[in-house]
Structure 1
Amino acid sequence: MKMTNYLSNASNLYGQNRLLKFVVVVLGITTVVNTYMIRNAQQMEKVVIIPSVINDKMWLSGTKASDEYVKQFARDVSNMFLTYHPSNVRTNFNDLLAMYDPSEFAEAQRVLYNLAERIEESKAASGFYITKLVNNEEKHQLEITGSKTMIINGKVTDNSIKIYLLDYKIESGKFCILRFMEKSEYDKYKYEEAANAKK
């Protein structure tokens, strides 16, 4: 009699053990699937922004953004970088640095602070007026064409059409600057980068 009770209890324990293992496996699979779905939802989420200045809808989703959103950032970046006066150049450049990708931040900070120092010493002022904006979505690059006026000590020293290239990326819903330079400098930079890659 005791042996049958023991076998019956042992059989019940094995059954319960199998049931618990099954529940743990199901919970594990559910957790993995849930994590995957949440991550996908974050990448697919769109934020629709309609500021008072812009009539078109702008959206941002994971690593993609609407053309209007990217162009608005291009306007902001070119304004901070190319329209300045000795009294506001450091403020502009500090705001601009907040938009740089962390991998490019140190180099951008060095370049911008050196430029700010030269602008303050020479009492230079600059104005840039955009005439054309082209967004190449595949390359994540904006081509910004405009009229740049440079004034030093109250005299116009340069008034010409300039083309700038802005390399960017959008990561986790944030616009990040990778590079911003005049097209002629950019071509030289890419040539040197390719030469260094061959070494």
Structure 2
Amino acid sequence: MHLNIYENKMSNLWAENRLLKFVVVVVAAACVVAIFMSIHAMNKQRTIILPPVCDKRVVISGNEVNDDYIKMFVRYTLGLLLNYSPVSFANQADDCLKFTAPEFYQQLHDKLSTLKETVQKLRISNLFYPSRIKVYQDEKRIVVTGMQRQYAEHTLVDEDIKTYELKYEIIEGRFFLAGIQEINSKYDRN
């Protein structure tokens, strides 16, 4: 009789052990599924930012951004680079270098240093009014056309429609200037 009780207890323990093993396997599988779903959710996560100076919705998702975000930073960057006076040039150049891609930094720094000497020496002021901004996200470039006025002292020296091509990078949702050059206004690469 004691043998029957022992066998029943052992068979109950084995059944309980099988049940616990099954529960452990189900919990482990649920954890693995939760990990993969978390990774997928993190990759699809979007951050929506609406700063006070922006009147449109700006969307950043990883290294993908919308055109409004790019246009906002292009206006800001061009404002730093092309709207200056002898007094403000140095600070604006330093601020602009903060938004410069590492591989373009030294080249832009050298150009701005040379321009700084010219601006200080000739007392040049420059104004640029962008009228059209075209973003080519697949090529990571922007073409900006606008009116540029240049003054020496208080005398208008040059007034012309200029077109600039900017190259950019988006790294972790942040805009970086990777190149800028003036292109021929008559040959507009649209």
TM-score class, shorter = 0.7 to 0.9
Q: Structure 2 CA distance, aligned partners of 1:118 and 1:54?
A: 34
Aligned to 1:85: 85
SS at match of 2:99: coil
1:131 aligns with 2:131: yes
Q: Do the aligned residues in 2 keep the contact of 1:104 with 1:178 (CA within 8 Å)? A: yes
Partner of 1:146: 146
Q: Return structure 1 stretches of 4+ with deviation > 6 angstroms.
A: none
The root-mean-square deviation of aligned C-alpha atoms, in Å, is 2.6
Gaps of 5+ in 1: 1-22, 188-199
Larger radius of gyration: 2
Q: Distance in 2 between matches of 1:85 and 1:177?
A: 22
For residue 121 of structure 2, give the secondary structure of its aligned residue in structure 1.
helix
Cα distance change of structure 1 residues 121 and 46 upon mapping to structure 2, 3 Å threshold = same
Counterpart of 2:124, as a letter, is: A
Amino acid of the structure 2 residue aligned with 1:139 = E
Matched residues in 1 for 2:118 and 2:37: separation?
Answer: 51
Superposed CA offset, 1:66-103 (max 9, x none):
11000001100111111100000011110000000111
| Map 1:111-190 → 2, pairs under 5 A | 111-184=111-184
**Structure 2 gap segments, 5+ residues each:** 1-24
The alignment covers a number of residue pairs equal to 158
Letter in 2 for 1:174: R
Name the structure 2 match of 1:54.
Answer: 54
Q: Which amino acid aligns with 1:45?
A: Q
1:94-117 superposed Cα distances (whole Å, 9 cap, x missing partner) = 000000011111111111111111
Question: Is the alpha carbon distance of 1:62 and 1:120 closer, same or farther for their aligned partners in structure 2, counting shifts above 3 Å?
Answer: same
User: Could you tell me how far apart the structure 2 residues matched to 1:96 and 1:41 are?
Assistant: 34
The 5 Å alignment of 1:26-37 reads: 34=35
1:100 alignment partner in structure 2: 100
Task: Provide closer, same or farther for how the CA distance between residues 101 and 43 of structure 1 changes in structure 2, counting only shifts above 3 A.
Answer: farther
**Against the structure 1 CA distance between its residues 48 and 150, is the aligned structure 2 distance closer, same or farther, given a 3 Å change threshold?**
same
Q: TM-score, normalised by structure 2?
A: 0.74
Whose helix fraction is larger, Structure 1's or Structure 2's? 1
